[in-house]
């Protein structure tokens, strides 16, 4: 009996020794952040190919590859920031900073994910998508190494990453998307990035620089101005998009988009809600507005496709 218990105990330790590093790897990949890659579906939606099964299969595959790139990006970022994260009250619990995941293991996993996604992009999608994927990887590496430490450039590079996602999704299925939608993708990402900086400055105050060093270069006043300017530009760009399409009915989606922008600003300024999109999306009015906008857009696109 004692030998059986000892074997069981040893087996349990073995399982735990495998489970904990695996869990640490999954946490470091931050799958909760992969929703940002839904921008790859802009191409298939707004090119009126919603009923094309082969295009959906390609787009989903492209989405998976970008999720792999995103995981590699987060691993690289945590490796580079591990020393700073160790003195942060929250970030110190990240697997790499806390020592739950070895740097060598994280680096190996990041390399494998990046290589696998690029190889898959080249052989299973097309050359244009491969080039855009490679460009995204280079951009995130430059961000982690250089641009994240430079004021204004940090949010511009982050926003450029969202544009690459939208473009990559269109290139994967070889369709053309309105330039105005690309502009809107950039401005939306810029708007959310400045909103995040604004919220961090308001909530963290003097500790903001410890949370994100580049925040020491910002002030609440200037970031508030940047956010307001970007919000106005986003609304104008979306209105220009809706009036530039062949079907003027798309204009009816504008009120939902405008409401979403203003509601987001309201939550930031009046409610002090965290600027992370996954937190903001818990707001029922924004969810309702987003659902109505999506329903209107899809209905109009399907109507155009059948007429």
pLDDT tens digits for 260-290? Answer: 999 998 988 877 665 566 667 788 999 999 9
The answer, yes or no, to whether residue 254 has pLDDT greater than 60, is yes
Distance (Å, whole) CA 53 – CA 212: 43
Distance (Å, whole) CA 52 – CA 44: 9
CATH code of domain 18-176: 1.10.357.140
Q: What pLDDT is recorded for position 7? A: 45
- Residue 250 in tokens: 């798309």
Q: Please, which pLDDT band fits residue 246 given cuts at 50, 70 and 90?
A: confident
Nearest in space to 60 (alpha carbons), one of 72, 75, 43: 43
The percentage of the chain sitting over the pLDDT mark of 90, rounded to a whole number, equals: 50
Q: What pLDDT is recorded for position 202? A: 79
Under a CB-based contact definition with an 8 Å cutoff, are residues 257 and 235 in contact? yes
Q: Over the stretch 145-201, which tens digit does the pLDDT of each residue have?
A: 899 889 999 999 999 999 999 999 999 999 988 889 899 999 999 999 998 888 878
Nearest in space to 76 (alpha carbons), one of 24, 111, 35, 27: 111
Packing angle between helix 179-204 and helix 153-172, nearest 10 degrees?
140
Q: Over the stretch 16-49, which tens digit does the pLDDT of each residue have?
A: 555 677 888 888 888 888 988 999 999 999 888 8
Nearest in space to 263 (alpha carbons), one of 248, 252, 273, 253: 273
Q: What pLDDT is recorded for position 8? A: 45
Calculate the average pLDDT of the chain.
Answer: 86
Q: Which residue has the tokens 């999109």?
A: 277
Q: Please, which pLDDT band fits residue 210 given cuts at 50, 70 and 90?
A: low
pLDDT (average), residues 129-152: 93
Q: Is pTM beyond 0.75 here?
A: yes
Q: What pLDDT is recorded for position 15? A: 55
Would residue 30 be called left, alpha or beta, if left means φ above 0 and alpha means ψ between -120 and 50 degrees?
A: left
What is the residue-wise DSSP string for 196-241? HHHHHHHHHGGGHHHHSGGGGG--HHHHHHHHHHHHHHHHHHHHHH
| Half-sphere exposure at residue 111, Cβ-oriented, CA atoms within 13 angstroms | 6
């Amino acid at each position: 009996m004692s030998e059986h218990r000892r074997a069981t105990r040893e087996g349990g330790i073995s399982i735990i020794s495998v489970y904990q590093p695996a869990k640490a790897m999954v946490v470091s990949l931050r799958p909760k952040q992969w929703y940002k890659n839904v921008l790859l579906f802009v191409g298939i939606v707004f090119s009126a190919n919603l009923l094309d099964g082969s295009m959906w299969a390609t787009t989903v595959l492209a989405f998976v590859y970008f999720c792999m790139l995103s995981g590699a990006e987060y691993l690289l970022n945590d490796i580079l920031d591990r020393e700073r994260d160790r003195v942060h009250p929250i970030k110190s619990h990240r697997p790499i900073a806390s020592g739950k995941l070895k740097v060598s293991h994280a680096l190996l996993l990041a390399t494998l994910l990046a290589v696998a996604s690029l190889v898959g992009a080249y052989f299973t999608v097309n050359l244009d998508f491969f080039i855009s994927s490679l460009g995204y990887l280079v951009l995130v590496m430059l961000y982690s190494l250089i641009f994240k430490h430079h004021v204004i450039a940090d949010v511009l590079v982050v926003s450029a990453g969202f544009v690459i996602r939208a473009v990559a999704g269109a290139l994967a299925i070889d369709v053309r998307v309105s330039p105005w939608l690309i502009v809107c993708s950039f401005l939306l990402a810029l708007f959310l990035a400045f909103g995040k900086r604004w919220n961090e400055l308001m909530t963290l105050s003097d500790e903001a620089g410890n949370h994100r060093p580049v925040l020491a270069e910002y002030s609440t006043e200037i970031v508030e101005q940047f956010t307001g300017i970007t919000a106005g530009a986003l609304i104008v760009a979306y209105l220009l998009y809706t009036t530039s399409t062949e079907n003027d009915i798309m204009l009816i989606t504008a009120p939902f988009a405008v409401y979403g922008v203003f509601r987001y600003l309201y939550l930031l300024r009046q409610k002090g809600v965290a600027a992370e999109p996954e937190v903001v999306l818990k707001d029922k009015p924004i969810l309702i507005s987003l659902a109505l906008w999506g329903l209107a857009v899809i209905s109009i696109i399907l109507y155009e496709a059948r007429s």
